[in-house]
Amino acid sequence: MKPTCFCPLILLSFFLLGGCASQRSVNVPYSAPSPSAPKRSTTVPAQAPRANRPYRVHVVKKGDTLWHISKLYHVSLHTLVSINHIQDPSHLIAGSQLIIPSRHYTHLKKETPFSSAQTSVARKEGFIWPVKGKIITFFGKSKSKISKGIVIQAPLGTRVKATRSGKVVYSGNYGPFGHTVILQHPDGYSSVYAHNQKNLVKVGQWVSQGQTIATVGMTGHITHPCLQFEIRKKSQAVDPLIYLRSP
């Protein structure tokens, strides 16, 4: 998931987020082609994901359709549109790249069980700022760009803190988003932290609100240090500024 500087999934569908240097686009309704559409090759490209790599990349060829790509990799149309932030599913640009989630990635997005104590703690918490800094990209559409989160500019190496208590469901390198951490919270919310310099937590780990989970970096498709931060409610991106406490 632009030069200016969740993401779980259930989530990175979390995700996340084009990078700070990538343009983002909203999901729009789409229609699957008629069953009578011309048949295409069903041979899956040889580019398989490395061990534990959460995605593979499909380079769009002339004549490709989203429907054909979804059948090629056995991934739903909704998943492709959501993860790649596709604005117009009927118009794919030859040479562009699409992220195809692997089974490893899909497995991480399943509902994570929480203990009653963890659920009780998290539900009493609000959302806190993951890092202090200037917001250089806001949620939603701005001119020709669309963002599903906010981008906060901060010095390289600044500590990134968990906005709420939760469980780590993803910690790794996620293509254009660079080093990314995704936390799942007990009440259907999840939070995404992208372009990190270094991830400091592991999948399955429980973290407390305010705990350092990463450091600000410039990994992925960005040109300067920043944190791309998203909050998702049942996999749907929401404006983080509605939830964050005043700094």
State the number of CA atoms in the 13 A half-sphere of 37 facing the CB.
Answer: 14
Amino acid identity of 115?
Answer: S
Stretch 65-69: mean pLDDT:
81
Stretch 76-90: mean pLDDT:
71
Q: Phi and psi (nearest 5°) for 74?
A: 60, 45
Name the least confident of 47-51, 176-180, 184-188. 47-51
Stretch 182-209: mean pLDDT:
93
Reported as a pLDDT band with limits 50, 70 and 90, residue 17 is very low
Could you tell me which residue, 83 or 226, shows the higher pLDDT?
A: 226
pTM of the model: 0.60
Percent of the chain with pLDDT over 70: 68
The confidence score (pLDDT) of residue 49 equals 43
Residues 6+ apart with CB under 8 A from 8: 14, 15, 16, 108, 109, 169, 170, 182, 184, 190, 192, 232, 235
| pLDDT for residue 217 is more than 90 | yes
Reported as a pLDDT band with limits 50, 70 and 90, residue 179 is very high
From CA 185, how far away is CA 168, in angstroms rounded? 9
CA distance from start to end of the chain: 27
Contact 54, 11 (CB under 8 A): no
Say yes or no: domain 55-243 is CATH 2.40.128.50.
no
Stretch 203-209: mean pLDDT:
93
Reported as a pLDDT band with limits 50, 70 and 90, residue 246 is low
Sequence spans of domains, the chain:
55-243
| pLDDT for residue 21 is more than 70 | no
Left (φ > 0), alpha (ψ -120 to 50) or beta: where does 140 sit? left
Count of residues in the chain: 247
From CA 122, how far away is CA 20, in angstroms rounded? 29
- Mean pLDDT, the chain, whole residue set: 76
Cα torsion 82, 99, 2, 163 to 10°: value is 60
Report the candidate in 157, 94, 163 with the shortest Cα–Cα distance to residue 125: 163
Could you tell me which residue, 214 or 105, shows the higher pLDDT?
A: 214
The confidence score (pLDDT) of residue 88 equals 66
| pLDDT for residue 51 is more than 50 | no
| pLDDT for residue 150 is more than 80 | yes
Name the least confident of 19-33, 127-141, 156-170. 19-33
Cα torsion 231, 236, 241, 247 to 10°: value is -10
| pLDDT for residue 78 is more than 50 | yes
Q: Which two tokens stand for residue 69?
A: 């790509």
